[in-house]
Structure 1
Amino acid sequence: MKTKLQAARLARGWSQAELMDAMEDAAERLGFEIPSRSSLKTQVSMFENGRRQPGSEYQAMFCEVYEATREELGFALETAPSQLDVLPKLPSPRGPAPTASAEVLGYLKSVFVQHAQAEPLVGPRFLVPPVLSQMPLIEQLCADTRGPMRAEVLRVSLRYAEFLGWLYQDSGDSQEAMLWTNRALDYAYELSDPTLSAYVLQRRANIATEAGHAGYAQGLVNAALNYSGKIPSQVEAVALRARANASAVLGNASETARALDQARVLAAKGPDHDDGLAPYVSVEYIDMEAASCAIELRRPEDAVKTLEESLTRWPVQQERDRGLCLARLATAYAQSEDLEGAVNAASQAVAVAQATGSARILAELTRLQTHLTPFRKLVEVAEFNRALGSMKGT
């Protein structure tokens, strides 16, 4: 009987030698060490015939190679837990928790709205502690609530957990980001809600892509898009955006373009009911993501115009995202060999990164730094490197 792992290889028409070629490429992307070819062949054979369960690093490589989730490849979570599967740690509650009521849920919803409004302005640094402090109450409500009120408790809990996952992602902590986003997905599954499930799955894909697991992210996006036709157009569009980002990292330009084109069509339909999950999705938003993909694919000329135009009409309340846009523009300038434009945009992005503590801006500026290496002795580049070094603590 074929294992799911062997079936995945045969479905692609690969020999074991071709699989090992792909695994060696994946190991290089993920920063894993891989054994000799003969040893790897023995390991693969044992994994495929079910005689041995792959460890966490091998599981990550197989997910990357096959663009599939661990569940789809038949990996038993209980025998090889990874950092992405353990539960997040919660602050210890003090005193008895209140029971679920319209008033308690109203309080949690109003606080959530305030946090969500503040986040683009102040970034994650000052918001993780207050949001995290609400989780013991939320977890207790989930444990205690039964009957008609439970679904509403789960929806509030999901929004907090997903938001906390986003805050950790923007802080640069992909492990905590995935842990909390996994918790949000658990709530979505209990609710049997296609829209919530699809949205959280694409959020997991975004975290995986940024953490260097673009192949695994593709599997998560596939799972999200299994709900196509059952979810609002904005949620489907943002899932296609996640597919485009992962495809760009993997160097697949045609799949990137196809996903972006499909996302634009859906975004052009305008807002529809999505429980407020993706009101930010518009054609302009997809164009911004297309610019980021163009940079990843080293097509800066496709990115510069879009990013420049976006900055002329950027909403004042989206300061953190303006910083990310500036950092991406700086990279696009550098790829186009426009040194002055790169340094000017980077200097502005550094200021926003310092104010918000966004690790995503810092990561983009770090990528820019490699493009500026040939010019590191120039005064303006040296100043940029010093500012970036102080932010990294180096």
Structure 2
Amino acid sequence: MAKGLKAARAARGWSQDRLVYEMRRVAEQRLLDIASAASLKTYISEWENGRRVMSGRYASLLRPLLGVTDDELRGTGSALELHTDGYADLLTRIDAAGSLSESMVPSFLAQTELLRSMDRQMGATGLVDQMNGHLEAMEEALTFAVLPGMRRPIATALAGASTLAAWQALDAGAVDRAWRRYELAKKAAQDAESPLYLAHAMGEQAYVLADAGRPQLAIELVRDAQRASERQSLRLRAWLAAAEAELCAGAGVGRESEARAALDRATALLPDDGEVRDVDMLSIFLDTGHLARWRGNVLAKLGDPSAMEALYASLASADASFVRAASGLHCDLTQAHLARGEPEEARSHLQQARLLANRTGSVRYRRRVEMLTGRL
């Protein structure tokens, strides 16, 4: 239990007292009857030290609060469910998958879209249970879908949802879960025979490597993703080029020319069609406005004074529903003002970034906020 609850609490930067406060706050909102503050603090210590078994009632309260799965909360491995009903049970599952596969896919896609919308507005931490259930349902359907024509649409839906789940896990600071979700997305994309979803999963997975301190490996992975998508969606290729630019800009000295070249390539590739998403690549949001914000991010990392104009233009036109992205935008503005020796302006944007990161529960952006705080 110490590995689970204590690690999840530490990732949020919460003391035991803060966790008690948050538990009672949520319980009050939900009209739940839980222990007193003093008793809860004792429970937390005993849960973390393995002296008390956490009940399902408290686990269901803590999972969305901390943005972790049940296994992560309890510090256990994945349990294997054994089915002993033999051939009859197997055939029942195969028949169910065959009869429902066509009708299930639109429902899977709609559920992914709902979770995507909730994630960008409220953050990922409260969606862990829903996302896990969503992925499990698709994995179950894919496991028992026999023929390729039945499997491909389910696998495509699973690839898109797994990539979203991986990004949510990375944002919540659950690095191991993020990596495994990206691997699931890549395998599903291969099953779906979809180079688009495979390349996108590889491109996002590169950010895990960059965050882990392996920028060169991250850059190589996103470049491999671009080679895998050379004949695919222009919007996806533009997205991957912009990702390469950001990774190069964050890799340290000596990468400026590569970052700028990748930015120029992204601009040249992006379709001027007025759309934000491709019909065949719903996992990506990218139009000229999004790319301008991305350009500001890259230029800020490079210390380019022109970043300021791009970032403020993005701030003025930003979609209000992209709450977590706004935290990143304010971090970029903080960095840009610091590069110009303007600490007061930087401090103002950093405060906004901190508020938005806390609002969405983004561990990843909270780390960036803390890093920038050390520069003020």
How does the TM-score come out when normalised to structure 1?
A: 0.67
CA drift of 1:103 comes to 3.1
Note if contact 1:185-1:200 (Cα within 8 Å) is conserved in structure 2: yes
Note closer, same or farther for the CA distance 1:229–1:336 as it changes in structure 2 (3 Å cut): same
1:278 Cα shift? 5.0
C-alpha distance in 2, partners of 1:220/1:274? 25
AA aligned opposite 2:298: C
Residues 182-201 of structure 1 show CA distances to partners (whole Å, capped at 9, x for unaligned) of 11001112222221222111
Alignment deviations for residues 314-359 of structure 1 (CA, whole Å, 9 cap, x no partner): 2111111112111221122122221111111111121111110112
Give the structure 1 partner of residue 234 of structure 2: 233
CA change 1:333–1:229 in 2 (3 A) is: same
What is the match of residue 244 of structure 1? 245
Q: 1:292 to 1:312 in 2, by over 3 A?
A: same
- Of the three residues 290, 298, 309, the one matched with 1:285 is 290
Q: How far off its partner does 1:89 sit? A: 6.3
Partner of 1:260: 263
Cα gap change, 1:360 to 1:174, in 2 (>3 Å): same
Name the aligned partner's letter for residue 368 of structure 2: E
TM-aligned CA deviation for residue 105 of structure 1: 2.8
SS of the residue aligned with 1:316? Answer: coil
SS in 2 for 1:317: coil
Aligned to 2:31: none
**1:135 correspondence with 2:135:** yes
C-alpha spacing 1:90/1:105, structure 2 compared with 1 (3 Å): farther
The within-5 A match list for 1:161-240 is 161-240=162-241
CA distance in 2, matches of 1:145, 1:326: 46
Pairwise CA distance, 1:263: 0.2
How many angstroms does 1:145 deviate by?
0.6
Instruction: Give yes or no for contact 1:194–1:230 (8 Å, CA) kept in 2.
Output: no
- Structure 1 stretches lacking a partner, 5+ long: 1-87, 373-394
1:367 equivalent in alignment to 2:368: no
1:193/1:128 Cα in 2 relative to 1: closer, same or farther (>3 Å)? same
Question: In structure 2, the residue corresponding to 1:178 is in which secondary structure?
Answer: helix
- Residue aligning to 2:272: 269
State how far apart, in whole Å, the 1-side matches of 2:289 and 2:82 are.
46
CA RMSD of aligned residues (A): 2.3
**Aligned letter for 1:311?**
L
Are 1:328 and 2:332 counterparts?
A: yes
Identity %: 19
Name the CA shift for 1:280/1:135 in 2 (closer, same or farther; >3 Å): closer
Query: Shift in Å at residue 90 of structure 1?
Result: 5.4
Residue 358 of structure 2 contacts residue 366 of structure 2 at CA under 8 Å; is this kept in 1? no
Shift of 1:167: 0.4
The whole-number CA distance in structure 2 between the counterparts of 1:256 and 1:138 is 38
Taking the aligned partners of 1:191 and 1:342, their CA distance within structure 2 comes to: 46
Find the aligned partners of 1:90 and 1:290 in 2 and give their Cα distance: 41
The match for 1:304 among 301, 308, 323 is: 308
Measure, in 1, the Cα distance between the counterparts of 2:143 and 2:200. Answer: 24
Counterpart amino acid of 2:212?
Answer: A
Matched to 1:188, the amino acid is A
Q: Is contact 1:109-1:156 (8 Å) kept?
A: yes
> Cα offset for 1:371?
1.2
Q: Which residue type is aligned with residue 290 of structure 1? A: R
Contact kept, 8 Å, 1:93 with 1:136, in 2: the verdict is no
| 1:195–1:230 CA contact under 8 A, matched in 2 | no
Q: Distance in 2 between matches of 1:92 and 1:362?
A: 35
Name the CA distance, whole Å, in 2 between partners of 1:278 and 1:136: 19
- Mapped partners of 1:196, 1:350: distance in 2: 32
Q: Distance in 1 between matches of 2:326 and 2:278?
A: 27
Contact 2:152–2:193 under 8 Å retained in 1: no
Tell me if the contact between 1:157 and 1:184 (Cα under 8 Å) persists in the aligned partners. Answer: yes
Letter of the aligned partner of 2:356 in structure 1? V
> Is residue 324–residue 360 contact of structure 1 (8 Å, CA) maintained in 2?
no
Task: Answer whether contact 2:153 2:192 (CA < 8 A) is retained.
Answer: no
Distance between the aligned counterparts of 1:218 and 1:188, measured in 2? 21
Whichever residue aligns with residue 308 of structure 1, its letter is Y
| 1:202 aligned counterpart, secondary structure | helix
Contact 2:179–2:205 (Cα < 8 Å) also in 1: yes
CA contact (8 A) 1:119 1:127 kept: yes
In structure 2, stretches of 5+ residues that fail to align are: 1-75, 84-88
Q: Quick one: distance in 1 between partners of 2:358 and 2:297?
A: 22
How far does residue 368 in structure 1 lie from its aligned partner after superposition?
Answer: 1.0
**Partner residue, 1:315:** 319
Q: Give CA deviations for 1:165-214 in whole Å, capped at 9, x if unaligned.
A: 01011112222211101110011122222212221111111222233221
Amino acid at match of 1:259: A
Match of 2:152 in 1: 151
Offset, 1:249: 2.0
Q: What are the equivalent positions in structure 2 for 1:343-354 lying under 5 Å apart?
A: 343-354=347-358
For 1:190 and 1:161, the matched residues in 2 are separated by 13
Report the alpha carbon displacement of residue 228 of structure 1 after superposing the two structures with TM.
Answer: 4.4
Between the aligned partners of 2:219 and 2:231, the Cα distance in structure 1 is: 20
Q: How many residues align?
A: 284
User: Which amino acid counterpart does residue 335 of structure 1 have in structure 2?
Assistant: A
CA contact (8 A) 1:294 1:303 kept: yes
Matched, 1:116 2:126: no
